[in-house]
Amino acid sequence: MRSIGEMARDSGLSVSALRFYDRAGVLIPAWVDPVSGYRWYEPEQLEEARLLARLRRAGMPLADIRLVLAGWAGADTDLVRGLLQAHLRRLELGLSDARGEFSTLRALLDRRENPMTSLRTATVRLSVPAPELAAALDAVRFAASTDPELPVLGGILFDIEGGELRVVATDRYRMAVAHAGTTGYGGPRVEVVVPLPLADAMRALLSGEVPVRLAVDGDRVTLEAGDRRAVGQCLDHEFPAYRRLIHVPAGRRALVGVTAFRNMLESGPVRASEAREQDGVSYDLSVLRVTDDGTVALCEKDDDGQNKVAVNREFLLQALAAGARDELLLEFGAPRAPLAIRRVDDELTFSLLMPVRLED
């Protein structure tokens, strides 16, 4: 057997890290001396420790590391590959976010040096595959606000950077993000908020398979599809800094079959909520939790299970429909963190639902 010092030397993990992973139940020693408390490891645990060290250097959350190690031990390569790919996509998203923030900071510096310069003076012209833009708009439209007191949220953000277009909608209680690839533009980041009537007119043009042309010229945005076009003025408001809101604390993930899960929501127990802050409208709550076997259950009112998340049931049903997949991932973070609804094959398209505080 290997001592903890030998395991640290050969695995690349420090002694203190090995002690931490023991307490966390991630890498448990084969034997602990009952008198001295000294930890000893089986030789075959070295491979597991080296894998753990690599995953931590890659910044993988502890909850996902547990799943990778379990899949590795059980030779479940599909699970391991899926978790690795999902984490890689999160890293790529984080890098893209960092680049976007730096791009915006450079633009702000330019405007500070030259106050007469507008963030929207440059003309942006690009092409977008019609099916991709249609799918992106469909994935976020349900989350846009209809509150006249918040006109900036009554539109869809078009966030253009490099070769990607992100579309975002939020009404404060939920947020949806989707993306589409672009060609023809390689300049700095540009953001415009397209009012909902114009966004809907654009969506109506996206019935073909060929790319469409998107242009932003100052405060005007135009979409051309063949000889048809939708053109209008952008909203003159700054959209919330959504990128800092989409990093949900790591938690438990559960894969759900959408049809069965929807049926469970529609027929399962709900809690009638008071008309709180959601624009004075009453709504039903669905209270969810992840069971020990990794499935999602609906909680009854007297269910005292831990890690429950309560969300607006209608919002959840709409998010499932917008996900447009037979299976979706539900991600439960910290107790008061948003519930994330993600596609298995596309980590950049997702929606977030704000949790509702339970009174009992």
Q: Are residues 159 and 204 in the same domain?
A: yes
Query: What pLDDT, in 10s, does the model give residues 119-145?
Result: 454 678 999 999 999 999 999 999 999
| Section 77-103 average pLDDT | 80
CA dist 12 and 90 (Å) reads: 25
Query: What pLDDT, in 10s, does the model give residues 195-208?
Result: 999 999 999 999 98
Question: Does residue 319 contact residue 142 with C-beta atoms inside 8 Å?
Answer: yes
Category of 116 on φ-ψ map: left (φ > 0), alpha (ψ -120 to 50) or beta: alpha
Q: Are residues 262 and 346 in the same domain?
A: yes
Domain that holds residue 168: 118-243
183 DSSP assignment: B
Q: Is residue 31 part of a domain?
A: yes
Report pLDDT for 7: 92
Q: Is residue 83 part of a domain?
A: no
All residues at 6 or more sequence positions from 136 whose CB lies less than 8 Å from its CB, including other chains: 165, 167, 178, 179, 180, 349
Confidence of residue 276 (pLDDT cuts 50, 70, 90): very low
CA dist 140 and 169 (Å) reads: 6
End-to-end Cα spacing for the chain? 51
Decide which of 107 and 331 is more confident: 331
CATH label of the domain that carries residue 223: 3.10.150.10
Helix (H) or strand (E) holding 316: helix 313-323
Measured CA angle at 257 (ends 253, 261), to 5 deg? 90
158: amino acid identity, one letter: F
Report pLDDT for 95: 78
Enter the tokens of residue 28.
């448990």
| Section 161-177 average pLDDT | 92
Report pLDDT for 168: 96
Q: Is residue 75 part of a domain?
A: no
Q: Where is mean pLDDT largest: 20-29, 237-246, 291-300, 302-311?
A: 20-29
| Section 99-112 average pLDDT | 66
Q: Is residue 254 part of a domain?
A: yes
Residue 275 has pLDDT above 50, yes or no: no
Q: Is residue 39 part of a domain?
A: yes
Strands (E), the chain: 2-3, 31-32, 39-41, 123-129, 155-161, 164-170, 174-181, 190-195, 211-217, 220-225, 228-233, 252-257, 271-272, 284-290, 296-298, 309-312, 327-332, 339-343, 350-353
Tell me which residue of 174, 176, 175 sits closest to 356, measured CA to CA: 174
C-alpha 311, offset from chain centre:
17
Task: Provide the mean pLDDT of the chain.
Answer: 85
Q: Are residues 128 and 223 in the same domain?
A: yes
Question: Does residue 178 contact residue 348 with C-beta atoms inside 8 Å?
Answer: yes
Q: Are residues 260 and 233 in the same domain?
A: no
Q: Is residue 74 part of a domain?
A: no
Tell me which residue of 350, 353, 352 sits closest to 178, measured CA to CA: 350
Which residue has tokens 């959504």? 242
3-state SS track over 2-22: EEHHHHHHHHCCCHHHHHHHH
| Section 327-351 average pLDDT | 87
Residue 250 has pLDDT above 80, yes or no: no
| Section 101-114 average pLDDT | 66
| Section 51-67 average pLDDT | 90
Decide which of 119 and 48 is more confident: 48
Lowest mean pLDDT among 71-75, 219-223, 272-276: 272-276
Q: Are residues 199 and 286 in the same domain?
A: no
- Predicted TM-score (pTM) of the model is 0.67
Which residue has tokens 């800094």? 241
Q: Are residues 277 and 336 in the same domain?
A: yes
The domain boundary residue, chosen from 243, 276, 292: 243
Report pLDDT for 106: 67
Q: Are residues 235 and 311 in the same domain?
A: no
Report pLDDT for 333: 76
The domain boundary residue, chosen from 57, 72, 89: 57
Q: Are residues 138 and 210 in the same domain?
A: yes
Give me the number of domains the chain comprises.
Answer: 3
Kindly compute the dihedral angle of the four CA atoms of residues 14, 19, 24, 26, in this order, to the nearest 10 degrees: 60
Q: Is residue 102 part of a domain?
A: no
Interstrand relation of 190-195 and 211-217 (parallel, antiparallel or unpaired): unpaired
Percent of the chain with pLDDT over 90: 45
> Half-sphere exposure of 167 toward its Cβ, with a 13 Å CA cutoff?
27
Q: Is 127 helix (H, G, I), strand (E, B) or coil?
A: strand
Q: Is residue 92 part of a domain?
A: no
Q: Are residues 239 and 124 in the same domain?
A: yes
Q: Are residues 225 and 132 in the same domain?
A: yes
Confidence of residue 277 (pLDDT cuts 50, 70, 90): very low
Q: Are residues 234 and 269 in the same domain?
A: no
Report pLDDT for 116: 47
Sign of CA dihedral 56, 61, 63, 67: negative
Q: Are residues 195 and 279 in the same domain?
A: no
The domain boundary residue, chosen from 243, 273, 295: 243
